Amino acid sequence: MLVIAYSGIFSPENNNYPVTCVHEKLTGEPCLSCGLSHSFSLIVRGKIDEAYRWNQYGMRVFLFFISQLILRVVYSIYYIWNINSRKQLIIIDCVGSGIIFLIAFWPFIESIISGALH
């Protein structure tokens, strides 16, 4: 919800994003997640092609946040209704969300791993 609100409030036309890239400030080189805020704002406004141009991973990260919003609502309803299978539900939620997280953020995780190894 916060991500959608953030993307809606700050527009690419005004370029008034409060988050600045620490990497770019320190090194002068853009990182993998540079342009993510722009990309989110453009996705919210329906400009998908332009969003891809700002950051190619913007869509998958945005979809992760949307999927979490939907999953929270669905699991909350199940949690209230199914008193007997609450533990199983929590495990399924953790595993499912973890997998979605890995898929969505894999390029960033990969950069951290390769950065730490080399």
Partner 1 sequence: MEDLKNNSGQSLGIAALITAIITFVLSVIPCVGLIALIPGIIAIVIASVGLTQAAKNNSPRGVLFAGLIIGIIATLISFSQVFVIGKIAQKGDRWPGNIQNIINDVQDNVIKDLEDANISIKVESNGDKMEINTSSNKKDMEQKLEDLEGENTQKDDTLQKEK
Residues that bind partner 1 (CB under 8 A): 19-24, 26-29, 31-34, 36, 61, 101, 105, 108-109, 111-112, 114-116, 118
Taking the least distance from each CB to partner 1, the nearer of 52 and 105 is 105
> 16-26 as b/e, with b when 16 or more CB fall inside 10 Å?
ebeeebeeeee
Contact at 8 Å (CB) between 40 and 59?
A: no
- Three-state DSSP state, 10: coil
Taking the least distance from each CB to partner 1, the nearer of 22 and 70 is 22
- Written as six digits, the tokens of 103 are 């898929």
Taking the least distance from each CB to partner 1, the nearer of 46 and 101 is 101
Rounded to a whole number of angstroms, the minimum distance from the CB of residue 96 to partner 1 is: 14
The structure tokens 């998908």 sit at 48
